[in-house]
Amino acid sequence: MSKRELDQLLRDCLHSEFSVDDLASATDDQMYRALALVVRRILSEKRKKFMAQTYGENGKQVYYLCMEFLMGRSLKTNLFNLGLNGVADEVLAQYGVKLTNLYELEPDAGLGNGGLGRLGACYLDGMATTSLPGMGYSILYEYGIFRQKIVDGWQQELVDNWLPGGQVWLKSHPEQAVEVRFGGEVHESWDGTYHHIEHKNYDSVLAIPYDMYVSGYDSNGVSQLRLWSAKAPGIDMAAFNQGDYTSALRQNSTAELISKVLYPNDNHVEGKILRLRQQYFLSCASVADIVQRHLAQYGFIENLPDKVAIQINDTHPTLAIPELMRILLDECGYSWEAAFSMVKRTFAYTNHTVMSEALEKWNVDIFRSTLPRIYEIVAEIDRRAREELMRRFEGDKGKVDYMAMIGDGQVRMANICAYVCHSVNGVSKLHSEIIKESVFHDYYLYKPAAFKNVTNGIAYRRWLLQSNPALTDLIESAIGDGFKYDAAELAKLAKYRDDDAFLEQLGAVKHRNKEIFADYVKRTTGEVLNVDSLFDVQVKRLHEYKRQHLNALNIAAQYLWLKDHPGADVVPKTYIFGAKAAPGYYMAKQIIRFICALGKVIDSDPAVRDKLKVLYLQDYSVTMSERLMPASEISEQISLAGTEASGTGNMKFMLNGAPTLGTLDGANIEIAAAAGKENFFQFGMLTEQVSELRRFGYLPNSFIADDEVAVAVLNFIEKGLDGKSFNEIVTNLETQDPYMVMADFRDYRRVQALVSETYRDSRKFNRMSLLNIAGSGVFSADRAVGEYARNIWHVKPIR
């Protein structure tokens, strides 16, 4: 598109939507909205063409169901992927407007908690770029992930009212609304030929679709994200006319609650009825939409499994399975066997965790009264599955009870997925092995071929080309621009591993990026960072399994050491944290408070503050990560081995040249292999050692007692910091320590010291950085969606 064409579109839009005729008088906010609208319309047209091409080739398409999509901002990435950022910059410059200022006006679309939701967003980008016809389904939460404010170390949550600035990306389609039914009773009758199912006295909620688009990079592909908003179906006129105002209006408020707010828990279930209603709302509306689209194209449903692949991302949208059964049985009149065969061939499932607190189970009574027909279908899947599994496992009732969909008064979402889906995948090599040995061991024996691995990937252009222009230019000067299309080409950088001049340039780019980040921090918080210190970064959700407190204990140990060795020549360090805690997760909030108090103690101590600093960044988000990654020098990935399914933050750091300091957990193992293990700072127990220690009976005190530093650090904390007590953390570590922080503490200090020593040799450190970038290509979302397409979806690119 030429400058003139974009200029005209912008003018037309400002005129028709904002009644602005003189562009010089348009505000930045009007410019942002107009440009976003223009981009959205371009993408909508492009998507239409892409889908016409897909149907023209009789192509199969992918529907990706996920309760979360952590999209971040859209304007910059869409302009960039469309190749319009340069043109837009010039057009706006004519009116004295800076494009980068407009970017800052956009709120993050924070419709997710962390890694899970970001993965969905990265896959929409990957599918669009590789021309795979894909559509995401989720919920249009009026309030996304809360905004975090830290007041005197304590996290406070503020509502994320994102729609005023985010709505320009959404287009509603009320004519495609779907009715979703809750509660009531099911009546069955038999007319001699057919069973009739009648659902009575239910409450209706309307699901209104809102569409957003994601551009591929230099491709014909565009992904669509359809977000459902809940609306009351209108006033119950019968009740209203009888003067029963309360019950006439009751449905209104409860119905619209469904899409009001995202549940802010990461890797933890809460078991609330509203959450179950959200899950069915998403599942029911999406399945209805998929079936309607299919029928509009083909006119019949038999070929659904040949034309449609549905990916269930984590168990949250599991109810799409019984919902499709319901449509095929009750609305299309299929036999159970025929319907079940179609359903099995359509659905695939991705597991994201093996931690028991995150495995979804619903109380049977709540489930049955909320979703009576869906319950009947799940119970029938369970009855038939038990029969079949009893035959297969020769009457091993214990095993069958364990594998069943319903047991101990609960509906088990993961077992529904494992039994029904034709594919079950984990998200890193290690995690995919663990699920075969633990949670799904019996299902693995039952259907081994269904078990697969697809290691996660990231939209690498967002975190390299769009966020780190200096590094992008340096890479391009060395290996050309092929890496912009195919991340595997980053491997060509490895030939510069012994090129002193290049390594120095790499170090200079990092230093410049640290200055830019430090300026941003100064401007927004007033905090001053020493850009010659090592930037050691841990940003991710706050969770005990991720072990932010292990990092903090080491900082406390360094602090005590520096007090004892005032003249020591040390590598100065800046430890940067960013993490939101689930609002009801008390221990996580205490850990934030601990990190902040530690930072304050250090800041107020002139003897150490030039050598050590802790920065707690408030409100970590996608946009914050884009600012931070280019400036990071060490990537802290220190979860207890066997707990982090993959991680994707680890990949963003690697891509930006920060070596990992980590355990052999999740995708860290593949990161170490790709970078070379000499370019990875490994520490801690291995998964097998963790299991063994647990079997043996883990006693944290046995690790503390013979470690002087551990004793000193825990004593120091126990006395209180900044006038605050942290006894709960200390007691937890001494008595339970569920994620074995104390068992890994000594080895963590060893590797931290090794990092410091290595950093003194800047050539060596830059070489490690280079080889991390060179090895990071495999962690691209383009590669990951390609594997899903070939091995699971059986979908081909449309080019």
Ligand X SMILES: *Cc1c(COP(=O)(O)O)cnc(C)c1O
Question: Does 457 help bind ligand X (rule: CB under 6 A)?
Answer: no
Report the DSSP pairing between strands 154-158 and 147-151. Answer: antiparallel
Q: Are 458 and 648 in contact (CB under 8 A)?
A: yes
Question: Does 75 help bind ligand X (rule: CB under 6 A)?
Answer: no
Tokens of residue 612, six digits:
């050590």
Residues numbered 521-580 forming contacts with ligand X, rule: CB under 6 A:
540-541
Tokens of residue 583, six digits:
């609002």
Known catalytic membership, residue 352: yes
Nearer to ligand X, 115 or 372 (CB): 115
Question: Does 346 help bind ligand X (rule: CB under 6 A)?
Answer: no
Q: Are 355 and 545 in contact (CB under 8 A)?
A: yes
Q: Which stretch binds ligand X (CB under 6 A): 367-375, 397-405, 646-654, 780-788?
A: 646-654
Known catalytic membership, residue 541: yes
Closest CB 538 distance from ligand X, rounded Å: 8
Among 625, 656, 668, 752, binds ligand X (CB under 6 A): 625
Known catalytic membership, residue 546: yes
In whole angstroms, give the CA distance from residue 647 to residue 427. Answer: 9
Tokens of residue 341, six digits:
């065969």
Nearer to ligand X, 330 or 644 (CB): 644
Q: Are 643 and 739 in contact (CB under 8 A)?
A: yes
Q: Which of 182, 240, 231 is nearest to 208 (CA)?
A: 231
Q: Which stretch binds ligand X (CB under 6 A): 45-53, 283-291, 381-389, 644-652?
A: 644-652
Among 144, 153, 264, 649, binds ligand X (CB under 6 A): 649
> Binding-site residue total for ligand X (CB under 6 A)?
13
The CA distances from residue 510 to 506, 520, 775, 780, in Å, are 6, 15, 18, 22
Nearer to ligand X, 431 or 540 (CB): 540
Nearer to ligand X, 513 or 625 (CB): 625
CA 258 to chain centre: 21
Strand partners, 536: 575, 634
Nearer to ligand X, 289 or 619 (CB): 619
Closest CB 647 distance from ligand X, rounded Å: 4
Closest CB 636 distance from ligand X, rounded Å: 9
In whole angstroms, give the CA distance from residue 184 to residue 72. Answer: 39
Nearer to ligand X, 289 or 636 (CB): 636
Q: Which stretch binds ligand X (CB under 6 A): 276-284, 522-530, 600-608, 619-627?
A: 619-627
Closest CB 621 distance from ligand X, rounded Å: 5
Nearer to ligand X, 42 or 778 (CB): 778
Catalytic residue among 60, 76, 541, 547: 541
Closest CB 376 distance from ligand X, rounded Å: 38
Question: Does 78 help bind ligand X (rule: CB under 6 A)?
Answer: no
Q: Which of 466, 353, 469, 332 is nearest to 413 (CA)?
A: 353
Q: What track of x and - describes contact with ligand X for positions 101 through 130 (by CB under 6 A)?
A: -------------xx--x------------
Among 621, 668, 772, 780, binds ligand X (CB under 6 A): 621
Closest CB 501 distance from ligand X, rounded Å: 33
DSSP state of 503: H
Strand partners, 391: none
Q: Which residue blocks in 69-222 are alpha helix, DSSP H?
A: 75-82, 85-93, 99-103, 115-129, 163-166
In whole angstroms, give the CA distance from residue 100 to residue 104. Answer: 7
Whats the size of the chain, residue-wise? 799
Contacts of 688 (CB under 8 A, 6+ apart): none
Q: Which stretch binds ligand X (CB under 6 A): 509-517, 641-649, 657-665, 676-684?
A: 641-649
Write b or e for each residue in 136-172: b if 16 or more Cβ atoms lie within 10 A of its Cβ, otherwise e: bbbbbbbbbbbbbebeebebeeeebebbebbebbbee
Catalytic residue among 652, 749, 767, 783: 652
Q: What track of x and - describes contact with ligand X for positions 652 through 681 (by CB under 6 A)?
A: x-----------------------------
Going along 437-592, which residue ranges are E strands? 451-453, 534-539, 573-578
Closest CB 478 distance from ligand X, rounded Å: 27
Q: Which stretch binds ligand X (CB under 6 A): 202-210, 401-409, 615-623, 763-771?
A: 615-623
Question: Does 648 help bind ligand X (rule: CB under 6 A)?
Answer: yes
- DSSP secondary structure string, 245-307? HHHHHHHHHHHHHTTTB----SS-----HHHHHHHHHHHHHHHHHHHHHHHHHHS-STTHHHH
Catalytic residue among 648, 660, 663, 687: 648
Nearer to ligand X, 61 or 456 (CB): 456
Nearer to ligand X, 33 or 541 (CB): 541
Q: Are 559 and 604 in contact (CB under 8 A)?
A: no
Q: Which of 681, 684, 683 is nearest to 755 (CA)?
A: 681
Among 51, 622, 655, 690, binds ligand X (CB under 6 A): 622
Question: Does 775 help bind ligand X (rule: CB under 6 A)?
Answer: no
For residue 171, the surrounding DSSP H or E stretch is strand 171-172
CA quadruple 767, 772, 777, 778: dihedral sign: positive
In whole angstroms, give the CA distance from residue 704 to residue 706. Answer: 6
Q: Which of 175, 180, 181 is nearest to 211 (CA)?
A: 175
Nearer to ligand X, 129 or 648 (CB): 648
Q: Which stretch binds ligand X (CB under 6 A): 170-178, 376-384, 472-480, 617-625?
A: 617-625
Task: Determine the residue with CB nearest ligand X.
Answer: 649
Residue 408: exposed, middle, or buried by beta-carbon count in 10 A (0-12, 13-18, 19+)? exposed
Closest CB 583 distance from ligand X, rounded Å: 16
Catalytic residue among 326, 431, 540, 573: 540
Question: Does 147 help bind ligand X (rule: CB under 6 A)?
Answer: no
Cβ count within 10 A of residue 50: 21
Closest CB 266 distance from ligand X, rounded Å: 8
The CA distances from residue 197 to 332, 343, 431, 634, in Å, are 12, 20, 42, 60
Known catalytic membership, residue 652: yes
Residues numbered 23-52 forming contacts with ligand X, rule: CB under 6 A:
none
Among 107, 165, 317, 647, binds ligand X (CB under 6 A): 647
Catalytic residue among 40, 546, 549, 589: 546
Closest CB 648 distance from ligand X, rounded Å: 4
Known catalytic membership, residue 724: no
Nearer to ligand X, 283 or 668 (CB): 668
Catalytic residue among 33, 47, 352, 593: 352
Question: Does 700 help bind ligand X (rule: CB under 6 A)?
Answer: no
In whole angstroms, give the CA distance from residue 239 to residue 246. Answer: 9
Nearer to ligand X, 625 or 769 (CB): 625
Closest CB 158 distance from ligand X, rounded Å: 17
Known catalytic membership, residue 694: no
CA quadruple 744, 748, 749, 754: dihedral sign: positive
Residues with a catalytic annotation lie at 352, 540-541, 546, 648, 652
Interface with ligand X by CB under 6 A: which residues? Answer: 114-115, 118, 540-541, 620-622, 625, 647-649, 652
